[in-house]
Chain A
Amino acid sequence: MSAVLRLVRSGLRGGNLAGAFATVLVSALATAGMVAGLSVQGQGGAEVDRIYREAGRPDLVVYGTPEVLEDVRQDPAFAATTPVTPYLAGVVALGRDTVDARITALAGGTAALGRPLLRTGGWPSAGEVVFDQAAATAAGIRAGDRVRLTVGGRPALLTVAGTAVDLTDCFYPDCDPIRLFVDPATLATLAPPPAATPTAEVTPTPTATPTPGAGPARSPEAGPTTAARQTAVLVARLVEPDRADAVAARIGTRSGVQAVQPWPDTRDDILIRDRIFGASLAGFGVFVLLAAAFVVAGTAAARLLARRREIALLQSVGYTARQVTTGLVAETLLLGAAGILAGWVAGILVAPFLQLGLAGALGRAGPRIDPPSLLGSALLVGTVLAAATVAPAWRAARQPVSDVLRDAAPRGAEPARVTRILDRLRLGPTYRYGLGAVLTRPERSALTAAALSVAVAAVVVGGGFTATVDRLVAEPARTGDPYDAVVVADGTDPATLTAALAGTPGAAGWYSQLDRRTTLGDQTFLSRAIGGDPADARFLVQQGRPLRAPGEAIAGYGLLRRFDLQVGDTVEVRAGGTPLRLTIVGWYSETEDTGELLMYRAEMLPGVAPEAYLVSAGPTASPETLAAALRDRLGPGVTVHARASDPDDLGTFTMAMRLLAALVLLVSLANLAAALLTVARERARTLGVLRAVGFTVRQTLAQSATGGAALGLAAALVGLPAGLLLLRLLTDRVLVGIGAGPGLAELPPAALLAGTVPAAALAGALAGVLAAGRLARTPAADLVRYE
C-alpha cells in the first residue's frame, strides 16, 4: 500500500499543475451545481413544513357564511379550529397596480392555529395593518409605510405595523388575494355600510398560476375577493392530516360552503416554482458532471502523458500495472475530493440566493448544511472521476516500458488508414497534417470532442429553455391565461357589465369564468365554468378540440394524469353542489393547480353569475392600456387588473440557466485547449521535425488550428442534435411537471442554431492556436533536441 501512496504523493507533488487544477475545478463545479439544485428543490419543502407546524398545522381552510361555518366547525374530522372569522374583501394599491386583498381581524387568544406568522414589526393597533409578507417584499413596503385600501368603493389609509406570513393560501404573486390583518375595531371601521353590501353569492377569483411566466396573480379557488360582508373563513387542523383532500371533497359539497382549500394543494402551489427551478438546476448539474467526466478523462490522459517516463521507471523497478492504476485513480480521487468539498460549500452558500418563490414570502433562508448531500455528491462525482481515470490509467500502466524509456512516440491509430482517408479529402499539407494529428489519436480526440459536444448541447438546451420560458410569458394562452385584463364582477349586473365590455376601446373579446371546488370520487380539484362567446376563450388546446357546447369539457394535462383520463372520456363530477356529466373533448395547456383543472360551459350552472370577465386586447392595445380603458369605461367601483407577468423571478431563472450553460461551455473550452495542448506537447518533437523539413511557424499553428476546428466541428455536429433531443425531453418534463403538458418546447433562436457549428469550429481553431502558440515560439532546434 505504501508503494501506491508513494506514487500518489509523487503525482500530487510533481504532476501537471494545470491538469490538477482542472480536475479540482470541474469536480467543484459539478458538485456545486448538483448541491445547489437539490438544495433549492428540497430546502423549500423543509422550510414550508416548518412554518406549517409553526402555524399550528392549518390542514383545511373553509370559506362560507358564518352560520354555515359554525356548523362545519363541529365536523368530527377536525382536531381543532379557529373561531369563525369574518373578513372583508378589498383592493390595495401595490406599486402602479392594485391587487385584491382579504382583510381579517386578528382573533384574540394565543392559539397558533390560523394565526399569521409575524416576520417584521408588531401586531396592529387602531389604524394599523399587518401586511402580507410576500407582497410587502415585492412592493418594498415596510413597517411605518402608509398603504391605501379600497373596501366597497371606500378608500382608507392605514399604517403598516408589520409584515406576516399567512398559510391559508399560497404566496403573492402566485396567489391572491393578499392577506392583511387589522385589529377588530379597524375592521369595523373599514366595513361598508349595510346598503353597500353586495348580493353576490360566492366570490372565488381568477386563479393561481404558480409557474414562471404565469399570468395574473390569482388564488387557487381559495378565497372570495369581492366585498361580501357575510363571508367568513375557518381554519381547521385535522385528526388525520393525510385525508385533507377527502375531507375537503366532502365539506366542499355542503350547502353554504363557498370554497375549501386543503393544505397539500397550498403546499404544492407554494413550492412549484422552486421545484421546477431546482430540477432544472440539478439537471444542469448533471450536464456539468457529464462535461466533468470528459474533462477529467482528458486531463488525466494529459497528466499521465507528462509522467509516462516516470511511470515506466517505476515499472522498471517493480511496480505492477495494478499498483500503477490504483495509484493514478487514487490521485485523481484525492484531487476530486478537494473539488467536491469546495463545490459542496459553494453549492450550500449559493442555494439560498436561488430560492425564487419562497425568498419573498419567507425571507432568504440562511445556508443549510446538509451532510447527506456531501456524501451523495462525493459518491456520485467520485464515481464519475474514478470511471474517467481508470481507462487512461490502465493504458498508462500497460505502455511498453522500453518504448517509453527510449522516448519512442506513443503509437497512434493505423497511419495507413488515416492516410487513405486524408488522400480522399485532397487537402493541402497544412490541413492534411493537422487533421491527421487528430485522426491518429481517435480515442483522445473523441473524448475531447465529446466534452465540447456536451457544452454545445448545454448551450442549445439553455437557449431553448429560455426561449420556451420567454414564449410562455409572451403568449399567456400557453399557461392557460388567454386574456389581457381581468374585470372582477364584484356583484355588478352581468348584462350591464358585458354591454360595457363590448364598447371598450381596445377590447377585442371577452369570456367569463366562475370557479367551483369540484369532486370526482373522493378527490377534489378546481373546475371552471366558462361563459361568453366560446371563440373568445382562446385556450391552447393541444389535443382534441376547443370547448363549444354544454356537456363538453376541456381538461388541463395535470387533471388527465391525476385521474388517468383521456380525451373522449365522460366523467361525472360535482361542482360545488351541482352534479355534472361532462365529455372531455380536448386537453389544453394550463399551469394553474399544476394543470389539474376542468373547464365546461357556464350554461351548465344556470343562474350563477360569473366572478370575473377576462378581456382580450386588440392588436394595438397592451394589457395596461386595455386595463386603463376598462377602468375608464366601468368606473371606480369595478376592480380591473392588467395581466401581469413575473419578470424578476423569470430573470433570475433564465439568468441562472444561461450562467450554467456558459459554465459548461467554459469548462469544455478549457478542456479543449488542455487537450490540444497535450497533443501539441506530445507532438513537440514531431513539430520540430516538421519544421526541420520546412514547415513554417504559421503552418504549424494552422495545423493545430485545423485539428481544433475539426474537433469543434465534430462536437457541434453531435452536440446540436443531442441538445435538441435533450431540450425536448427536459422541457417536456418540466412543462408536464407544471401541468402545461408536453409539446410546448421552443427551439433556441435560429441565430444560435445557425451559429453553433461555425462557432464551435472557430472556438476549436482558436483553442488549437492557443495550445500550439508556445511551441510555435520555441526554436525548432529546441524541439528536435532529445537530450
Chain B
Amino acid sequence: MSDPLLRARGLARSYHGGVRDLAALRDVSLEVAAGDWVAVTGPSGCGKSTLLHLLGGLDRPDRGEVWLAGQRMDTRSESGRALIRRRHVGFVFQFLNLVPTMTVAGNVELPLVLQGVGRRDARRRALEVLDELDLVGAADAAPAELSGGQQQRVALARAVVHRPDILLADEPTGALDSAAAETVLDLLRRRHQDGQSIVLVTHDHRVAAAADRVVTMLDGQIVDERDLTGSAGRPGFGNLIDLEG
C-alpha cells in the first residue's frame, strides 16, 4: 500500500487564553490519500480550522507530525513550509481570500509567478482557469467589484491554477448564499473528479455530504469518521445526512 498524500499523527495545539491555555487540538491523527475528498465538520470552536492550518503548514503543532507528499512539515521553518505550500497546496478561506490591491487575474497568477512561471504563461493559465469558472470577463477587475460568490470562485481558481497535490478549503461556502454555495461545490466536485485531493472544513452537513469521507470533531478531537463512498445514493447538495448517529 502506497504512503498517503497527507498524514497527520498525534497533533496537539493550544492557544494562550488568559488564565490557562486553551487546547484547540488534542491528539488528532488523520490520513488523506491521493484523490481523497475529506470533509472535516463539527461545531464552531471544535478545532477544524486549526487542524486545516496545521495540515497546510500555516501553523506548527505543539506536538505531533504532519507529512505532505513525503515531506515532514512540522519540523520545517516558516519559510520551509512556505516553499512546500507553494508547490503542493492550494488554500481557500471563507472570505477575504483575495489580495484587494491586485486584479482578479493578478490574484490567480500568484502561485504560478511564485513558482517562476513566465508572466505570459502565468496569464494564459490563469485565464484558462478563470474561463473554466466563467470569470474570464472579470480578469482585470478589482476583487471589490465582484460579488461574494464570484470572489470565492476566483479564490478557488487561484487555489488550483498550479495544480497542487491537495486543496485545503476552510468554510469555502460559509459566507455564500445557497446558489453561490452550490456553484462552488460543483466546482470542487469537478476538480475532485479530475483527481484533485481535497480537505474541506465545514460546519454544514450538506456540504460535508459531498465528500468521500467525513471526519467529525468535537472539543479538539476527532469523534467520528465515516466513509461515504460506499453509501447508496451518494447524497447531493441539499440532502441531509445524519452524522451524529
The chain A residues found within 8 Å of chain B, CB to CB, are: 406-416, 418-419, 423, 426, 429, 432-433, 436-437, 440-441, 685-686, 688-699, 779-782, 784-786
Contacts and interface: CB of A to CB of B under 8 A. Distances in A.
B83 A696 contact: yes
B142 A692 contact: no
14 contacts: A411-B144, A412-B142, A416-B142, A440-B101, A692-B93, A693-B110, A693-B111, A695-B82, A695-B86, A698-B79, A780-B58, A781-B50, A781-B54, A782-B59
Interface in B112-151: 113-115, 119, 140-142, 144
B14 interface: no
Nearest to B57: A780
B106 interface: yes
B83 A692 contact: no
The A interface is mostly helix, strand or loop, or mixed, namely helix
A690 B79 CA distance: 12
A418 B58 CA distance: 29
A689 B60 contact: no
Contacts of A690: 99, 110
Contacts of B97: 689
Nearest to A426: B119
Nearest to B92: A692
A92 B94 CA distance: 90
B101 A436 contact: yes
B100 interface: yes
A590 B174 CA distance: 81
B86 A694 contact: yes
Given A414-B142, A436-B101, A785-B49, A695 B106 contact: no
Contacts of B106: 415, 419
B37 interface: no
Nearest to A784: B93
Contacts of B110: 429, 690, 693
Given A691-B82, A694-B111, A696-B78, A781 B58 contact: yes
Nearest to A406: B95
Contacts of A697: 78-79, 82
B158 interface: yes
B96 interface: yes
A411 B100 contact: yes
A382 to B, nearest CB: 35
Interface residues of B, number: 41
A481 to B, nearest CB: 61
Contact of B114 (A410, A694, A781, A785): A694
A408 B78 contact: no
Interface of B: 49-50, 53-54, 56, 58-60, 78-79, 82-83, 85-87, 89, 91, 93-103, 105-106, 110-111, 113-115, 119, 140-142, 144, 158
A409 B119 CA distance: 26
B64 to A, nearest CB: 15
A784 B96 CA distance: 9
Residue among B83, B101, B142 with most chain A CB within 10 A? B101
Given A689-B98, A693-B85, A781-B58, A419 B79 contact: no
Query: 10 smallest A-B Cβ distances: which pairs?
Result: A694-B86, A781-B59, A440-B101, A781-B53, A696-B79, A409-B100, A781-B58, A780-B58, A692-B91, A696-B82
A786 B82 CA distance: 20
B96 to A, nearest CB: 6
A440 B143 CA distance: 13
Nearest to B139: A416
A782 B78 CA distance: 13
B114 A429 contact: yes
A691 B86 contact: no
Given A689-B97, A692-B85, A416 B114 contact: no
A697 B105 CA distance: 24
Contacts of B100: 409-412, 415, 686
Contacts of A412: 100-101, 142
Contact of B56 (A418, A692, A695, A696): A692
Nearest to B13: A781
Nearest to B91: A692
B78 A416 contact: no
B16 to A, nearest CB: 12
Residue among B50, B56, B94, B142 with most chain A CB within 10 A? B142
A415 B142 contact: yes
Contacts of A437: 101
A779 B59 contact: yes
Given A411-B142, A690-B110, A694-B111, A436 B102 contact: yes
A780 B59 contact: yes
Contacts of A406: 95
Contacts of B94: 786
A779 B91 contact: no
A70 B87 CA distance: 106
A558 to B, nearest CB: 58
B189 to A, nearest CB: 23
Contacts of B59: 779-782
Nearest to B113: A429
Contact of B96 (A414, A698, A779, A786): A786
A418 to B, nearest CB: 7
B83 A694 contact: yes
B187 to A, nearest CB: 19
Nearest to A777: B78
B95 to A, nearest CB: 7
A693 B99 CA distance: 11
Contacts of B140: 416, 419
B114 A415 contact: no
Contact of A689 (B87, B93, B144): B93
B148 to A, nearest CB: 9
A663 B101 CA distance: 35
B106 to A, nearest CB: 5
A695 B89 CA distance: 12
A689 B97 CA distance: 7
B96 A407 contact: yes
Given A692-B91, A695-B114, A696-B83, A423 B58 contact: no
Contacts of B85: 692-694
Contact of A686 (B95, B99, B144): B99
A441 B100 CA distance: 11
Given A407-B96, A693-B91, A784-B93, A419 B102 contact: yes
Given A414-B142, A686-B100, A779 B60 contact: yes
Given A418-B101, A692-B58, A409 B96 contact: yes
Contacts of B101: 412-413, 415, 418, 436-437, 440-441, 686
Nearest to B45: A787
Contacts of A779: 58-60, 78
A412 B105 CA distance: 17
A779 B79 CA distance: 11
Contacts of A695: 82, 86, 114
Contacts of A689: 91, 93, 96-99
A436 B113 CA distance: 15
A780 B93 contact: no
B99 A408 contact: no
Contacts of B141: 416
Contacts of B142: 411-412, 414-416
A786 B111 contact: no
A701 to B, nearest CB: 10
Nearest to A436: B101
Nearest to B44: A787
A255 B76 CA distance: 100
Nearest to B148: A406
Contacts of B96: 407-409, 685, 689, 786
A433 to B, nearest CB: 8
Contacts of A781: 50, 53-54, 58-59
A689 B154 CA distance: 13
Contacts of B99: 433, 686, 689-690
A694 B102 contact: no
Nearest to B52: A781
